[in-house]
Amino acid sequence: MALIVQKYGGTSVANPERIRNLARRVARYKAMGHQIVVVVSAMSGETNRLLNLAKEIMPEPDPRELDMMLSTGEQVTIGLTALALMELGLKAKSYTGSQVKILTDDAFTKARILSIDDHNIKQDLDDGYVVVVAGFQGVDANGNITTLGRGGSDTTGVALAAALKADECQIYTDVDGVYTTDPRLVPEARRLSKITFEEMLELASQGSKVLQIRSVEFAGKYKVKLRVLSSFEDEGDGTLITFEEENNMEQPVISGIAFNRDEAKITVLGVPDKPGIAYQILGPIAEANIDVDMIIQNTGADGTTDFTFTVHKNEMNKALSILRDKVQGHIGAREISGDDKIAKVSIVGVGMRSHVGIASKMFRILAEEGINIQMISTSEIKIAVVIDEKYLELAVRVLHKAFELEEA
């Protein structure tokens, strides 16, 4: 007997027939003697629908109230899922995040899980129930409903698996595993039967939305056995996230390509080139809990420098007004501008550690297509570039081909 957490994304619960299909799979696992916890997302499109409703009333919605209403999407699917399980004769019980209780911090719309009370779930599992938990949501110390950021149901699934010490966490979605890049953009993309945790972490952090980054972080921290599978197929092993270091000479240099259309670039022009400037620019941004990704600073010959960084598109305006109100006059910067017509493309692979010339090959491929690189950042196993968003598809396709990632 194993304890398995199965997480189903929006397309996997998009209508009653798919929810019944989910219930049939759970019934098969129950029949094998396993204990099952199901985590579900809102029906596909629902979170966007709710978000748009809120924006119709308030263009930049108050985050606490936004979470209050966004969390309802998942509350509908847990009820429906429990009903579908009951219709198959199973004992089932659903819980919202706050009922569980999944305690988070109070960073509305992007809260972090602090702890999970597993008491009721364990009791229910021992009593033979399938437990159904709402993904994407939690509750803060003051009882406010919070949400975990887009794609956050993955994190609920993995965090629950960690808290319950589950034998496996299965992420059921609309693709049959993790591919060399998003198969929607590159049909020649190839499914990986396994991928190292480090590579998955980089791919997720660089924008592959097949797994939310925080879910991968949890899997790494608590060594959760994590597998991505198709909810539309009953066969297939999907992709396993592995923890062991492969020492395989056959290992390709690049394992995958991620891209991200969600970032915006902010440039502070003509700032004095002296100590403390980076802190004075980014300090107020951090205080506002705005995540910063890439950072570039150039050294100018005339004693001034340009400072560029990227944030989520949703937070560009907030970051710009903080800089204009609190920073620009103070440090004497000439100009502050924002550009949300950018995209980031990243190549990822542990094989990069033992190979040289990967970055120059990437830059050559992009140059041959006339694609200008605006920013570059690297880690031991990743090279990321920011380019004009209109070249995103082209860049991903040519890199996928040049690094020989296609189906053989």
Chain residues in the site for ligand ASP (CB under 6 A) = 9-10, 41-42, 47, 73, 135-136, 150-154
Q: How far is the CB of 182 from ligand ADP (least distance, A)?
A: 3
When asked if residue 175 is in the footprint of ligand ADP (CB under 6 A), the reply is yes
Q: Can you tell me which of 108, 179, 218, 309 binds ligand ADP, judged by CB under 6 A?
A: 179
Residue 174 binds ligand ADP, judged by CB under 6 A: yes
- 340 contact choice in Mg ion, ligand ASP, ligand ADP, none (CB below 5 to 8 Å, kind-dependent): none
The nearest distance, CB 359 to ligand ASP, in angstroms, is 33
The interface with Mg ion within residues 50-109 (CB under 5 A) comprises none
State both tokens at 312: 């989520």
47 binds, among ligand ADP, ligand ASP, Mg ion, none (CB under 5 to 8 A by kind): ligand ASP
Binding partner of residue 152 among ligand ADP, Mg ion, ligand ASP, none, CB under 5 to 8 Å per kind?
ligand ASP
Sheet with 145-147, edge to edge strand ranges: 113-116, 102-104, 137-139, 145-147
Residue type present at position 95: Y
In the block, which residue shows the tokens 């119709």? 56
Site for ligand ADP in 38-77 (CB under 6 A): 41
* Residue range at the interface with ligand ADP (CB under 6 A); choices 79-87, 120-128, 177-185, 365-373: 177-185
Interface with ligand ADP, residue 184, by CB under 6 A: yes
Minimum CB distance to Mg ion smaller for 233 or for 325: 233
- The rounded distance, in Å, linking the Cα atoms of 209 and 286 is 24
Report the C-alpha gap between 352 and 199 in whole angstroms.
Answer: 11
Listed residue (164, 249, 256) closest to 211, CA to CA: 256
Q: What is the DSSP string of 196-211?
A: EHHHHHHHHHTT-TTS
Instruction: List, in sequence order, the alpha helices (H) in 32-112.
Output: 46-57, 63-70, 72-87, 97-100
Cβ-based neighbour number of residue 174 at 10 Å: 15
> How far is residue 183's CA from residue 381's CA, in Å, rounded to a whole number?
22
> Closest by alpha carbon to 135, among 163, 115, 155, 106?
155
> Stretches 6-14, 159-167, 269-277, 315-323: which one binds ligand ADP (CB under 6 A)?
6-14
Question: For residues 203 and 316, which CB has a smaller minimum distance to Mg ion in the complex?
Answer: 203
Per-residue x/- mask for ligand ADP, residues 193 to 212, rule CB under 6 A? ---------------xxx--
Amino acid residing at 279: Y
182 binds ligand ADP (CB under 6 A): yes
Residue 403 beta carbon to ligand ADP: minimum distance, rounded to whole angstroms? 14
Q: Does 178 bind ligand ADP (CB under 6 A)?
A: yes
- Tokens linked to 228: 């991505």
247 residue type, one letter: N
5, 6, 10, 383: residue in contact with ligand ADP (rule CB under 6 A): 10
- Backbone φ and ψ of 90, nearest 5°: -90, 155
**CA torsion, ordered 201, 202, 204, 210, to nearest 10 deg:** -80
Which residue's beta carbon is nearest to the bound Mg ion?
151
Nearest approach in angstroms of CB 161 to ligand ASP is 15
Cβ distance to ligand ASP smaller for residue 41 or 208: 41
> Which residue(s) pair with 5 in the sheet?
37, 169
Non-local (6+) Cβ contacts of 106 within 8 A are 140, 141, 142, 144, 146
Give least dist CB 236 to Mg ion, A.
19
Rounded distance, CA 213 to CA 6, Å? 18
Question: Minimum Å distance from CB 234 to Mg ion?
Answer: 21
The answer to whether residues 179 and 394 touch, using CB atoms and an 8 Å cutoff, is no
Which residues face 137 on adjacent strands?
147
- By beta-carbon proximity to ligand ADP, the closer residue of 44 and 144 is 44
User: Could you say whether residue 151 binds Mg ion (CB under 5 A)?
Assistant: yes
In the complex, the residues that contact ligand ADP under the rule CB under 6 A are: 9-12, 41, 151, 173-175, 178-179, 181-184, 208-210, 256
Q: Site residues (CB under 5 A) for Mg ion?
A: 9, 151
